[in-house]
Amino acid sequence: MDPLALTRHPERGSHERAEIAAVLDAAPLCHVAFVDAGLPFAIPTMHVRVGDAVYLHASVKSRLARVMASGAEVCLTATLLDGLVLARSAYFHSVNYRSVVVLGRAFAVVDPRERRAVLDALIERLVPGRSARVRPPSPGELAATAVVGVPLERASVKRRAGPPTDAAADRVLPVWAGVVPLAHVAGTPVPDGDPGPGAPVRLPLFGADP
């Protein structure tokens, strides 16, 4: 079976590249699944999409870096939870979400300029313009950092949006039904010590605007 075949709720799925990129760019983190000694693992990490690949960094001592740098098959999944769908029947309770699954053979990024570009992009995702303000990584820090990626060739997106889909007979039941919107929002930045210039002004907002 095609592992990317959208067998369940195919109407919720897509392989459309722009939508895949949009979800990856909106999700603050992903989970990377890999097989080690025959067993599955899923590790959370931040990611950044650059062109037709998704990248992340990790300590060279981490299992995630070791497995990915060796070219293992991974599954990188990024999910945005947009709302709780409260139906009139237990069965039709659901969530509104957007989720991208990227299947692929991981690769190590070895070119020094490409590595720096990915590391900068990981910081630019958080606060645009910040990578040029902070102290760049030292040779020792770079040596301690693995930069790895997964191509976006085999990727799919699934999502659900909108109200509950109760059966017609259930719509008369005397119970509140609807959607509770959810979003990942930023609070007031907390400076560490004397605040220098470059405070984050464009605060990130992940998920649908509640």
Query: Which span (11-19, 29-37, 48-56, 107-115) binds a second copy, by CB under 8 A?
Result: 29-37
- The single residue among 110, 134, 143, 161 that binds a second copy, judged by CB under 8 A, is 134
For residue 141, give every residue at least 6 positions away whose Cβ sits within 8 Å of its Cβ, in sequence order, or none. Answer: none
32 binds a second copy (CB under 8 A): yes
107 binds a second copy (CB under 8 A): no
70-99 residues near a second copy, rule: CB under 8 A:
73-77, 79, 81, 84, 86-91, 93, 95, 97, 99
26 binds a second copy (CB under 8 A): no
Query: Which span (13-21, 47-55, 58-66, 107-115) binds a second copy, by CB under 8 A?
Result: 58-66
Q: What angle do CA 93, 95, 101 make, to 5 degrees?
A: 135
Strand partners, 205: 185
195 binds a second copy (CB under 8 A): yes
Distance CA 204, CA 152 (A): 24
Distances (CA, A) of 14 to 7, 19, 73, 126, 133: 12, 8, 22, 27, 39
- For residue 154, what is the DSSP state? E
Q: At its nearest, how many Å lie between a second copy and the CB of residue 52?
A: 21
- Count Cβ atoms below 10 Å from residue 131 Cβ, excluding itself: 18
43 binds a second copy (CB under 8 A): yes
139-178 residues near a second copy, rule: CB under 8 A:
141, 145, 163-164, 166, 170-171, 173-178
Q: At its nearest, how many Å lie between a second copy and the CB of residue 67?
A: 10
Asked whether 205 and 185 are in contact (CB, 8 A), the reply is yes
Query: Which span (14-22, 48-56, 107-115, 201-209) binds a second copy, by CB under 8 A?
Result: 201-209
Q: At its nearest, how many Å lie between a second copy and the CB of residue 127?
A: 7
Sheet holding 94-105, edge to edge: 13-14, 154-160, 94-105, 73-86, 30-36, 39-45
- Token code pair at residue 105: 């053979």
15 binds a second copy (CB under 8 A): no
Q: At its nearest, how many Å lie between a second copy and the CB of residue 4?
A: 10
**103 in helix, strand or coil?**
strand
